[in-house]
Amino acid sequence: MATLSVRNLSKSYGGVHALAGVSFDVSAGEIVALIGPNGAGKTTCFNALNGQVAPDSGEVLLDGTSLVGRAPHAIARLGVGRTFQVAATFGSMSVRENVQTALQVNRRPPGDADAILERIGVAERADTPCAALAYGDLKRVELALVLAQRPRLLLMDEPTAGMAPEERDVLMKLAADLARSENIAVLFTEHDMDVVFGFAQRVIALHLGEVIAEGLPEQVRANARLREVYLGDA
């Protein structure tokens, strides 16, 4: 059974079909990219998966449990973590204090913070206020906050936006390693095609709310319709 199963997911805003019968799976330990031009439906899809938007129809299952109709905090407690395009932390608090707060919210011992920080490679910044961190380190701390949930599914919304190329590689290698070692299903959106085709095991492409291509990166890269509406000759 796939960790995440999406079946015929649809959402309209007036006459605009943001999602039109979208279906796909993501398995434990797999890292999958969701791509497409602006307005393709990626953000609406993410928002439907973690409960910020109620779909008009369709089903979202996490290990067989329906997520539709549940509040975002309830979905988070079931094991769905999400990072956002702009990292959100408590700037005046230290890195360790941020993670300890996330652990307490998730009913875990605050003493687990140092092990998580070691795991994501920012243990040496544990006592640094988040406001003083470089952006790449801040994005890794955001990932630590999600790991405090012990997620089964990790949604990453444009994780490398605003990052230098070397920082992008560090973050995505970390995400891929976490997917494998912690058996987490990872779904990420991204506009940087070097990141997509460098790290995704599978790629799902949306256009105008519909899945127009899905498969291995090289298969999706060669899809004629996707090249026409998004990739061009890149």
| Number of domains composing the chain | 2
Q: Are residue 43 and residue 134 in the same domain, yes or no?
A: no
Indicate whether 30 belongs to any domain.
yes
Q: What is the pLDDT of residues 200-218, one digit of tens each?
A: 999 999 999 999 999 999 9
Half-sphere exposure of 16 (CA within 13 A, CB side): 8
With a cut of 60, say whether residue 234 has pLDDT above it. Answer: no
Indicate whether 226 belongs to any domain.
yes
Q: Are residue 139 and residue 209 in the same domain, yes or no?
A: no
| One-letter amino acid of 222 | A
User: Which CATH number belongs to the domain containing residue 45 in this structure?
Assistant: 3.40.50.300
Indicate whether 166 belongs to any domain.
yes
* Structural domain containing residue 37: 4-79+152-231
User: What is the residue whose two structure tokens read 């910020």?
Assistant: 52
Q: Are residue 107 and residue 200 in the same domain, yes or no?
A: no
Q: Are residue 195 and residue 133 in the same domain, yes or no?
A: no
Alpha carbons 186 and 81: distance in angstroms, whole number: 10
With a cut of 90, say whether residue 159 has pLDDT above it. Answer: yes
Q: What is the pLDDT of residues 118-149, one digit of tens each?
A: 999 999 999 999 999 999 899 999 999 999 99
- Largest Cα separation within the chain, whole Å, is 52
Q: Are residue 171 and residue 214 in the same domain, yes or no?
A: yes
Q: Are residue 56 and residue 161 in the same domain, yes or no?
A: yes
Q: Are residue 21 and residue 132 in the same domain, yes or no?
A: no
Indicate whether 84 belongs to any domain.
no
With a cut of 80, say whether residue 232 has pLDDT above it. Answer: no
Among 44, 30, 41, which Cα is nearest to 2's?
30
Please state whether the predicted TM-score (pTM) of the whole model is above 0.85: yes
Indicate whether 87 belongs to any domain.
no
Alpha carbons 102 and 104: distance in angstroms, whole number: 5
Q: Which of 104, 133, 150 is the last residue of a domain?
A: 150
Q: Are residue 145 and residue 194 in the same domain, yes or no?
A: no
Give the 3-state secondary structure of residue 234: coil
With a cut of 90, say whether residue 15 has pLDDT above it. Answer: no
The average pLDDT across 40-53 equals 95
With a cut of 80, say whether residue 233 has pLDDT above it. Answer: no
